[in-house]
C-alpha cells in the first residue's frame, strides 16, 4: 500500500499544479518580449494592479534607442484616455544602447515643451530643471539599464533610475501627464512608438 501511494503521488502533485495554474488570480503574470527586453504584462504599483497597455521601441534614424512600456489600470487607446486614467500609472524605459543621460534629459525637457502650451509648461519649469539634473548626475545610461516613471495619486511622480528612487516626488499633478505627452502628445518622440504604447496594431 505505501508503494502504491508513492507511485501515485507525483501524478497527484501534477494534477494539483494544473488546477492551481487555472485558478483565477493564482497564475503567474506573463512576459512580453520587446527587442529582447522582458516586460511583465501585469504589475502592482502602490497596491493597485496595472496591465501593460502597450510597449514598443524608440528609434532614432535606424538605431534602436530604448524600449518603453506603459502600464494602466484600464485599457486606453487614445492619449486623452491615458491622461485622464484614474489611479497609479507607470512608464518604464529600458536602454537598448549606451546614451549620454544628460542629453536624454534635455530631449525629455524639449519633448515636454513641444507638446504643451507655453504658459502650462512654464509652471513646470522647476520640476523640469530638477529632473534634468537627475539625469545629468548619472552621466550615462548603459544598454540594459532601466528608469521608471510612476504616477501615485496623493504622492506625485516618482522617478526611479537603475532601481533607486531619485529624491522627492514631483508634486505637480500635471507633471506626469507632461511627461506622457513626450511619447503620446501631438508631436511625439516617435510616431510608431506612440501607436505601440496605445496598443494599436501595425
Q: Residue 134: give the domain boundaries.
A: 29-197
Structural domain contains residue 9:
no
Tens-place pLDDT, residues 104-147: 899 999 999 999 999 999 999 999 999 999 999 998 999 999 99
Residue 78 has pLDDT above 70, yes or no: yes
Structural domain contains residue 10:
no
Structural domain contains residue 7:
no
Structural domain contains residue 52:
yes
Residue 62 is predicted with a pLDDT of: 86
What CATH number is attached to the domain comprising 117?
3.50.70.10
Tens-place pLDDT, residues 1-36: 454 544 444 554 444 444 444 444 444 568 999 999
Q: Quick one: which of 103, 48, 43 has its CA closest to 69?
A: 43
Residue 18 is predicted with a pLDDT of: 44
For all residues of the chain together, what is the average pLDDT? Answer: 87
pTM of the predicted protein model = 0.83
The cell numbers describing 202, all together, are 501595425
> How many domains is the chain built from?
1
**Within a 13 Å sphere around the CA of 18, how many CA atoms are in the beta-carbon half?**
6
Structural domain contains residue 91:
yes
Q: Is 109 in contact with 132 (CB distance < 8 Å)?
A: yes
Amino acid at each position: 500500500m505505501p508503494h502504491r501511494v508513492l507511485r501515485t503521488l507525483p501524478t497527484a502533485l501534477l494534477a494539483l499544479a494544473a488546477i492551481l495554474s487555472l485558478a483565477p488570480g493564482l497564475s503567474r503574470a506573463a512576459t512580453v518580449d520587446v527587442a529582447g527586453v522582458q516586460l511583465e504584462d501585469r504589475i502592482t504599483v502602490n497596491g493597485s494592479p496595472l496591465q501593460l497597455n502597450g510597449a514598443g521601441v524608440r528609434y532614432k534614424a535606424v538605431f534602436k534607442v530604448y524600449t518603453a512600456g506603459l502600464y494602466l489600470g484600464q485599457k486606453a487607446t487614445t492619449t486623452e484616455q491615458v491622461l485622464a486614467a484614474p489611479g497609479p500609472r507607470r512608464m518604464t524605459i529600458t536602454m537598448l544602447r549606451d546614451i549620454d543621460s544628460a542629453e536624454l534629459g534635455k530631449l525629455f525637457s524639449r519633448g515636454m515643451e513641444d507638446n504643451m502650451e507655453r504658459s502650462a509648461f512654464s509652471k513646470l519649469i522647476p520640476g523640469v530643471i530638477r529632473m534634468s539634473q537627475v539625469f545629468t548626475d548619472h552621466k550615462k545610461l548603459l544598454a540594459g539599464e532601466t528608469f521608471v516613471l510612476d504616477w501615485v495619486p496623493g504622492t506625485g511622480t516618482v522617478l526611479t533610475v537603475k532601481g533607486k528612487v531619485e529624491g522627492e516626488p514631483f508634486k505637480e499633478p500635471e507633471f506626469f501627464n507632461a511627461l506622457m505627452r513626450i511619447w503620446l502628445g501631438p508631436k511625439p518622440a516617435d510616431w510608431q512608438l506612440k501607436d505601440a504604447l496605445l496598443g494599436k496594431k501595425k
